[in-house]
Amino acid sequence: MTVQRTLHVAVNQDEVGRYAFLPGSVERAALIAEYFDNPQKIAHHREFLTYTGTLHGVPVTVTSTGIGGPSAVIAAEELYECGVHTMIRVGSSASTSPKVGIGDVIIPNGAIRMEGTGDHYLPMEFPAIPDFGLVKELADAAKRLGFSYNVGVTITKDSFYTEVSPETKPVYRELKYKWEAYEKGGATSTCMECAPLFLCGASLKIRTAAVLICATNYNQYSNDDNDYPRDWERRAIETGIEAMRSVIRKDKEIAEKA
């Protein structure tokens, strides 16, 4: 019998858990899989690398999504098609506030919609917010692990280089005005996937959230690896793993009482 696989992620419902992590890079997907019990590589198609293992005996999956909103929600849609109901993005971010520094764990409680993918899910008036329960689990996990963390609004944008070098772009004045407004409103970080993921999750009625590692200090960007020790990524990963363990335990308890 032919096994039906999803179009892009190339998995089927028997190969994934109901809980999933969504990093951007394939390298981070492999790192996350190291924290699973008995991880197995399931598929690698385009930017989507998938492993499945277990936590507390429950199947869990990690799928890389590549960079940006369109591919992130492709992964989310296809994993949902396979039965996934809880998704935590594990990624990186840059600081947009003196409150956040390099190496801090970032837990968005909302995302500014400076992107276009979310418009295909819900009207602009609808806020891009994660599941509150997952946000609380992530904050509690970061606290238990002793990591410096921030819960705040993140800016989701569609273009990396319009942030890094906006003055070179024809729409610089608009970018500068909006960015300054977001910072004045209290945004503490920026990334490229949170808003569409949260909006996709809301439209599908599933739980989504994100935990990010901050790769910069405020108003400082460097492309030098010496300024960003790669092991710091594990802070976001370990926070996500710890939170997911708690979610799985609590879901088990609820199911047993039902």
- Cα separations in angstroms, 52 against 14, 71, 104, 201: 10, 20, 28, 21
User: Based on the number of CB atoms within 10 Å of its own CB, is 97 exposed (0-12), middle (13-18) or buried (19 or more)?
Assistant: middle
The pLDDT tens digits for 2-18 are 468 999 999 999 999 99
Residue 243 belongs to a domain with what CATH number?
3.40.50.1580
- Specify the pLDDT at position 225: 60
- Cα separations in angstroms, 189 against 20, 101, 123, 151, 186: 23, 10, 23, 10, 9
Q: Give the pair of three-digit tokens for residue 239.
A: 């926070």
Would 211 be classed as within a structural domain? yes
- Specify the pLDDT at position 127: 98
40 touches 51 (CB < 8 A): yes
- Specify the pLDDT at position 237: 98
- Cα separations in angstroms, 63 against 38, 144, 168: 16, 26, 34
Over pLDDT 70: what percentage of the chain?
95
Query: Which residues, in sequence order, are CB contacts of 224 under 8 Å at separation 6+?
Result: none
Percent composition of the chain: helix, strand, coil (DSSP 3-state, to 5): 40, 30, 35
Would 136 be classed as within a structural domain? yes
Number of domains, the chain: 1
Domain that holds residue 164: 19-215+233-257
The pLDDT tens digits for 91-145 are 999 999 999 999 999 999 999 999 999 999 999 999 999 999 999 999 999 999 9
Would 253 be classed as within a structural domain? yes
Would 7 be classed as within a structural domain? no
Would 79 be classed as within a structural domain? yes
Task: Compute the distance between CA of residue 237 and CA of residue 211 in angstroms, rounded to an integer.
Answer: 8
Would 10 be classed as within a structural domain? no
- Cα separations in angstroms, 20 against 33, 36, 147, 219, 247: 11, 11, 22, 33, 12
Q: Residue 231 above 70 pLDDT?
A: yes
Got the DSSP string for 138-204?
HHHHHHHHT--EEEEEEEEES-SHHHHSGGGSTTHHHHHHHHHHHHHTT--EEESSHHHHHHHHHHH
Would 6 be classed as within a structural domain? no
Would 102 be classed as within a structural domain? yes
- Specify the pLDDT at position 219: 85
- Specify the pLDDT at position 228: 58
For the chain, the average pLDDT equals 94
Average pLDDT on 22-34 reads 97
The pLDDT tens digits for 241-255 are 999 999 999 999 999
Q: Residue 229 above 60 pLDDT?
A: no
Q: Which of 9, 140, 142 is nearest to 81 (CA)?
A: 9
The pLDDT tens digits for 37-78 are 999 999 999 999 999 999 999 999 999 999 999 999 999 999
Tell me the pLDDT band of 230, cut-offs 50, 70 and 90.
Answer: low
Q: Give the pair of three-digit tokens for residue 241.
A: 């793993």
Q: Is 134 helix (H, G, I), strand (E, B) or coil?
A: helix
